[in-house]
Structure 1
Amino acid sequence: MATGTRLRPVGDQDVRLRHRVVHGYRRAYRIAGEGPAVVLIHGIGDSSATWAELIPGLARRSTVLAPDLLGHGASDKPRADYSVAAYANGIRDLLGVLGIERATLVGHSLGGGVAMQFAYQFPEHTERLVLVGAGGVGREVNPVLRAAALPGADLLLATLSWPGMRWPTRLAIELMRLLDTDLGQDAPDLLNLVDALPDATSRSAFIRTLRAVVDWRGQVVTMLDRCYLTQGMPTMLIWGSRDSVVPELHAHRAHAAMPGSRLEIFEGAGHFPFHADPARFLALVEDFVDTTRPADWSAERWRDLLRDGRSGTTLAGPDAAYEAVVERELRAESERSAT
């Protein structure tokens, strides 16, 4: 891959879906531009199309790769492992097929958890992290997702595809928007999620993915226990102040647990801040890439971090109270997965 920063225009034809077969499964992705690699990882039930408005701008100076995760979008939807670790492996393998050695990872929601997992599993391939409304920072999550993880939820989801159901679904979502609820801030994206589950195969993949990270009590996967490993890796956190899926509190927890991280809050935005203000989001990511050096990984330094553990890290945050919040959350992790 080229490593220069030459600007060049990117047209819509450059971000069309492409496909590669990896391990026997078709993987869909969009790729554009040239220069240092930036990988955009979408959230649950979403696809690479969520980044469509941002890809041309980022591609002026970067090689931008936006995959459809397995089980999502135009990628295959097999009966498979949909854990965050498996998704991280899938990103690694796609990068290998495309000849990309290292990348800045931008992950939204579930994709944020995948990005963090990728950085943990493959630090030698990770230059920077941008976590957007990321999962894995606390148990709290929207009750709708907790309910969707319950047995029988797939039957309820199936009713959304029945003839005549789109109108009342649209009406309910529009009502949430008119009432100015936090969830209503993401009304268009909620409709896209419903449209993304048109058949039993799509719904099965969605449920399998959801149950890998959420149960009736909330999120079941945590990254807080390994956040100290981001020491020396440029990390930026972006959150909407009205995120009803993964609350803003999680942004401050992650910020406190990640040494040297940068926190940006989009006031009034919901779970999709890059849709609420794409120009600001693009400017932040470009500035972050331009003003930070890629993580300087070495096997020796990684061993030292692991040996020192969290005892070698000083938590940082807007005030000392965040340290106590993170400590309490970590003490509650005994029933949660450290995958």
Structure 2
Amino acid sequence: MAIKAIRMPKWGLAMEEGTIIDWLIAEGDAVAEGDEILEIETTKITNVLEATNAGQLARIVARTGEVMPVGAIIGVLTEGEVSEGEVDAFLADSPAVEVAAEDDEDDTALALQTVTVNGRRMNVAQAGSGRAVVLLHGFSGDHGNWLFAIEDLKGAARVIAPDLPGHGASEKDVGDGSLATLADTVAAMLTGMEVSDAIVVGHSLGAAVAMRLALDHPALVGQLALVCPAGLPGGVVNDDFLSGIVRAEKARDVKKALQLLVRDPATVSRDMVDGVTRAIRLDGAQAALGVLRDRMLDGADFAALHGALDALPPVTLIASRNDTIVGAPDVAALPDGWAVHWLDDAGHLPHLETAAEVNALLRALI
């Protein structure tokens, strides 16, 4: 006999509570480890909680619509013959909220710092220790797009997630907006942090920056992981999304653009829309994004990458069959030896939509 609590998870260090959107199973249903059991909305995004143990869902504690703090019991899972009374006793004896150790008592605490490189101020998030894993976000994003990856990887690596120039809390000056300029800025940041031979993970535009970084500063990059990358042969660039962000005047314009990123439009939460809306309203933000958009649509930087793919270090490519932003790369045009993983259950944001699957692939590189 075993009784285990299902608790509100902590997805990202900023998460304090979550809203129960929908239970995907009913009381009495059998559950296997890894099964999707309920949808939870955070201030960042709506995500699915997977079972960490097998058993039977004996009790739903938090119903649809309830807001629960991180660590609170939201359900009970049992194995073997367990009576209702035993479940009641388990709940009565369990703390309402499981308190985790304070983040500042170990080296996995997320630290934010501002560094100046190549005359540009950059906001950088760091957590953990060990080999460096550098996370580069995509167009109009910031380091918060990696909240699930940071939380998952920080116990095994030194995770470094900057806001790229023109994004987040970093300087809005993007220069000519070229991949080389962005990569040189990241290179200067990593050099100042005494990083070399890093695993560099890039999403979308960030993946193209990661490839340029590896080509122009090879000592800094030991491995690449490209998540729905922009700039590969066969790929596209969705101007509806890029210009939708650059021209957005109201939150509803931002929401319409963001819904292009995901397979299920309901994944885009109000807080996610509000966060991007606040970011692009900062002085110079949309002008900077406009420079980057024009450079991406021009395509010359991407074409230069195509002729140099053979010179890249080992590459893990994570691509989505439902990506309407950069499309599907032409795998036949890629160098031999690339490890290619296709995802079927996400759009352009698999590191948020199917975080567990992406994180498992990234952990395998460490």
> Given that residues 274 and 281 in structure 1 are in contact (C-alpha distance below 8 angstroms), is that contact kept between their aligned partners in structure 2?
yes
Query: Does residue 228 in structure 1 map to residue 310 in structure 2?
Result: yes
> Helix, strand or coil: the match of 1:282?
helix
2:232 is paired with a residue of what secondary structure?
A: coil
Match of 2:290 in 1: 207
| 1:178-205 Cα distance to aligned partner (Å, 9 max, x none) | xx98584864567754443114411011
Partner of 1:166: 251
Say if 1:182 and 1:141 are closer, same or farther in 2 by CA, change over 3 A. Answer: farther
User: Identity rate of aligned residues, in percent?
Assistant: 27
In the alignment, is the contact (CA less than 8 A) between 2:237 and 2:296 conserved in 1? no
- What amino acid is the match of 2:331? H
- SS class of match (2:284): helix
Counterpart CA distance in 2 for 1:173 and 1:20 is 31
Shift of the alpha carbon at 1:39? 0.4
With CA pairs under 8 Å and 6+ residues apart, which has the higher RCO, 1 or 2?
1
* Preserved CA contact (<8 Å) 2:178 2:301: no
Provide, for residues 199-257 of structure 1, a one-character-per-residue CA deviation record: whole Å limited to 9, x for no partner: 44110111111112214xx7862222111113xx3210001211000112x1625xx42
Between structures 1 and 2, the one with greater strand share = 2
Give the corresponding residue for 1:53: 148
Q: Distance in 1 between matches of 2:148 and 2:254?
A: 26
User: Aligned in 2, Cα 1:44/1:272: closer, same or farther, shift over 3 Å?
Assistant: same
Return 5+ residue gaps in structure 1 as ranges: 1-8, 290-339
User: What letter is aligned with 1:91?
Assistant: V
More helix by percentage: 1
Quote the residue 1:266 is aligned against. 343
Q: How many residues align?
A: 259
**Greater Rg by CA:** 2
Partner of 1:288: helix, strand, or coil?
coil
Normalising by the residue count of structure 1, what TM-score does the alignment of the two structures yield?
0.68
Distance 2:163 2:334 in 1: 29
> 1:91 corresponds to which residue?
186
Match of 1:69 in 2: 164
Partner SS, residue 209 of structure 2 = helix
Aligned to 1:196: 279
CA distance 1:78–1:167, change in 2 (3 Å): closer
- Provide the alpha-carbon RMSD of the alignment: 2.9
Gaps of 5+ in 2: 1-100
TM-score norm. by structure 2 comes to 0.63
Identify the match of residue 21 of structure 1 among 87, 91, 116: 116
Would the alpha carbon gap of residues 198 and 263 (structure 1) be closer, same or farther in structure 2, given more than 3 Å must change? same
Partner of 1:144: 240
CA deviation string 1:50-78 (max 9, x = no partner): 11121122111111100111111001112
Counterpart pick for 1:240 among 308, 314, 320:
320
**How far apart are the structure 2 equivalents of 1:44 and 1:31?**
21
1:113 is paired with a residue of what secondary structure?
helix
> Partner residue of 1:11?
103
